[in-house]
Structure 1
């Protein structure tokens, strides 16, 4: 039996679509872990990236932080956090997922602010607009497409990696991979992997729609 048969058999089995171990419930758990990690990472990285890009300071330090964050192995960090914290729970999972999401958001938000055309910024300052008004009313709307691209990259990485939650007895779509592997049920392993891959691809569509909603048409045409 080939991979596509495994996936098809898993997805067409009605027993996989209801109950505690059903796909809707596991998907809800997986998205919960992913969006929580993404929200925390955005709360950390966006203010730093926007302010640093606005002022033009700290670019080298951000590059070092981003490089270090990308070099961290998520699964290895999960194991370390699990033993350090000493208990099963969401916190050991959130730390590596947030560490994974911060670098792309941090770097792209900084670069987005630095690539804004200085002419309208200078004009806004000449009209008497303060730093906060320039940041949020002039620079941010223009930088938004690139900022969203960083958010999209972070979301794809987090959704793809959130399966590690299952290795410390939490839920999510990774539960199919971990449980299927130990049970030698390759249909379940293939089905779980396919669902995670599809979810990561879905993030591309979600952010495409989000960009169409929040970015002004004039800015989209100029990019």
Structure 2
């Protein structure tokens, strides 16, 4: 029995150490790899076409626009999915919860490029918001589903105890259910952010900017250094966003569940 307990403790401690090690190693790896590619791309003997894309001004501008798209998508997802998930866990709203989950499932199942193009054709918009809104719809499901699952997973004994000491329905929701559901909500947000970063490379189809501009330019003009730089920056940004999500989970998850 003693050996079993020690083995379980060792496994748990090892898992925590591995996670903390990854939290340290992931941003370092991103910085090293992206830095090496940027040094290579900016110091090589580029021709005139490559030089138009491989310069600090263009790279920073495209990366900044890509990040803005991701931030806008994250804000919309949180403002829509979390309150909607909270409402759909209320007893009176449960019958319509499958309808909203089905709509969100359709949004994620549909090809992202098709959604962006269809939104463009439907609205005749182009630019930043023409990319952000369909990408937000595409990224909505993980946060919505995890909000619902997280609240539903709270032990009924805890909510009953809250009501027993005089808490209102809103008090139980915000002081018991939401804090306990927070780890799952943050995990869903982390997934949504990574989806948003990847899908934002398609924003160039509707003049939305982002790192997809570099990737498209490198592919169409057969400029491999431009293509590699755009792809590595997009991957690096996705890994960095994933790391930020992991840090948020570690920082804001309930202490008692760690």
Report the TM-score, using the length of structure 2 for normalisation: 0.76
**In structure 2, how many angstroms separate the alpha carbons of the residues matched to 1:13 and 1:79?**
32
Distance in 2 between residues matched to 1:65 and 1:87, nearest whole Å: 23
**Over aligned residue pairs, what C-alpha RMSD do you find?**
1.9
Distance 2:84 2:152 in 1: 13
> Residues 66-98 of structure 1: CA distance to partner in whole angstroms, max 9, x if unpaired?
321222221112112222222432222122201
Taking the aligned partners of 2:39 and 2:152, their CA distance within structure 1 comes to: 46
Q: Distance in 1 between matches of 2:174 and 2:114?
A: 39
Q: Which moved more, 1:51-60 or 1:162-171?
A: 51-60
Which whole-Å CA distance do the structure 1 matches of 2:85 and 2:39 have between them?
41
Aligned counterparts of 1:147 and 1:119: Cα–Cα separation in 2 = 21
The offset of 1:170, in angstroms, is 3.0
- Name the counterpart of 2:61: 25
Tell me by how many angstroms 1:186 deviates.
1.6
Residues 195, 9 of structure 1: alpha-carbon distance in 2 compared, 3 angstrom cutoff? closer
Question: Which is further off, 30-39 or 81-90?
Answer: 81-90
Provide the C-alpha distance between the structure 2 equivalents of 1:17 and 1:149, rounded to a whole number of angstroms: 36
Where does structure 1 differ by over 4 angstroms across 4 or more consecutive aligned residues? 7-11
The separation in 2 between residues aligned to 1:168 and 1:66, in whole angstroms, is: 23
Query: Partner of 2:110 in structure 1?
Result: 72
C-alpha distance in 1, partners of 2:184/2:135? 22
Could you say if the C-alpha distance between residues 93 and 106 of structure 1 is closer, same or farther in structure 2, counting changes exceeding 3 Å? same
Aligned to 1:105: 143
Which of 49, 64, 76 does residue 85 from structure 2 map onto? 49
CA distance, structure 2, for counterparts of residue 17 and residue 186 of structure 1 = 15
For 1:7-22, what aligned pairs fall within 5 Å after superposition? 11-14=39-42, 16=54, 18-19=56-57, 21-22=58-59
Q: Give yes or no for contact 1:28–1:172 (8 Å, CA) kept in 2.
A: yes
Rg: which structure is higher? 2
* Match of residue 211 from structure 1: 249
Corresponding residue pairs, total:
212
Q: Which moved more, 1:178-187 or 1:136-145?
A: 178-187
- Which TM-score applies when normalising by structure 1? 0.87
Structure 1 residue 10 displacement after superposition:
5.1
| Structure 1, gaps ≥5 residues long | 1-6
| Match in the other structure for 2:157 | 119
Shift of 1:215: 1.9
Superposed, 1:1-12 pairs within 5 Å as 11-12=39-40
Task: State the distance in 2 between where 1:212 and 1:68 align.
Answer: 31
- Specify the SS of the correspondent of 2:189: helix
Per-residue CA deviations over 1:20-62 (Å, capped at 9, x if unaligned) read x12x222111010111012112211111112222437133223
